[in-house]
Chain A
Amino acid sequence: GAVVSQHPSRVICKSGTSVKIECRSLDFQATTMFWYRQFPKQSLMLMATSNEGSKATYEQGVEKDKFLINHASLTLSTLTVTSAHPEDSSFYICSASSGGWGDTQYFGPGTRLTVL
C-alpha cells in the first residue's frame, strides 16, 4: 500500500509555543489530506480536510485559528498548533488519499503532542 510519513512522531513543548506537524505522502500524489485527533481508547475525530492549493475545511468546533493547516503541494500538508495549551495534548494523525470518492485513505503513524 501507499506510504504516508508524519514528523515528528513525538513532541513536548511549553505552553504558549507553536508546534508544526508535517504529513507527507511518499509514493503517491495526495489531492486530499485529512487531520484527525485521537483521545485514549476512542475513535478518530476528524479535525479538518485539506485539498491541495485550497483552504482547509474545518469540522464544527475546531478552531481554525488555533489549528492552522496548509496543503501547499500534492505530497505535503502541515498542521500547526498555535499557542499550544495542555488541553491540546493529544495524538494527532494525518491521512492522505488521491481524492476520489471511495479512494482509500492511507494513514501516517501519528504524532504524540504533550504540552507542559
Chain B
Amino acid sequence: AQTVTQSQPEMSVQEAETVTLSCTYDTSESDYYLFWYKQPPSRQMILVIRQEAYKQQNATENRFSVNFQKAAKSFSLKISDSQLGDAAMYFCAYPSSGTYKYIFGTGTRLKVLA
C-alpha cells in the first residue's frame, strides 16, 4: 500500500535559521511525483514545491528546497532563512498512480520564533 509518513508533529525554528521537515513514503512505483504544501492559519493550502522522481536534481523554490532520496524513499523539506510567515502546517503528498488522488501525510506544525 502507498503511504506517506510525517514523523514530526511539531517543529520550532528561530527566525532566520534553517529547519528541515521530514517525510517518508512507501511505493512500488518507479516513476512518481511528490509535493509539499503549506497550510497557514487562513487554512488555504498553498503549493510549496513539486518533485519528479525521475529527476535526479532536488527541486528548489527560493528559500525552500528538498532533499529527495529515492532509494530511501525520503522527501524532506528544507526551509532556509525562516520567516514569521513560514509558520504553518506543512503536508507532504504523494499522488496515487492510476487514481491521481493525493495521499497526504499527517502534517508537521512549524512554529517560527522571533
Contacts and interface: CB of A to CB of B under 8 A. Distances in A.
Interface of A: 1, 32, 34, 38, 42-44, 46, 49, 57, 91, 93, 95, 97, 99-107, 109-110
11 contacts: A43-B105, A49-B99, A49-B100, A49-B101, A57-B99, A93-B43, A102-B52, A105-B102, A109-B44, A110-B43, A110-B44
Contacts of B91: 43-44
Nearest to B33: A102
Nearest to A2: B47
Interface in B45-83: 45-47, 50, 52
B100 A103 contact: yes
Given A43-B104, A43-B106, A43-B107, A101 B97 contact: yes
A68 to B, nearest CB: 19
Interface of B: 32-33, 35, 37, 42-47, 50, 52, 91, 95, 97-102, 104-107
Nearest to B98: A101
A112 B43 CA distance: 10
Given A38-B43, A105-B102, 20 more contacts: A32-B100, A42-B106, A43-B105, A46-B101, A46-B102, A49-B99, A49-B100, A93-B45, A97-B100, A99-B100, A101-B95, A101-B100, A102-B33, A104-B35, A104-B50, A106-B47, A107-B45, A107-B46, A109-B43, A109-B44
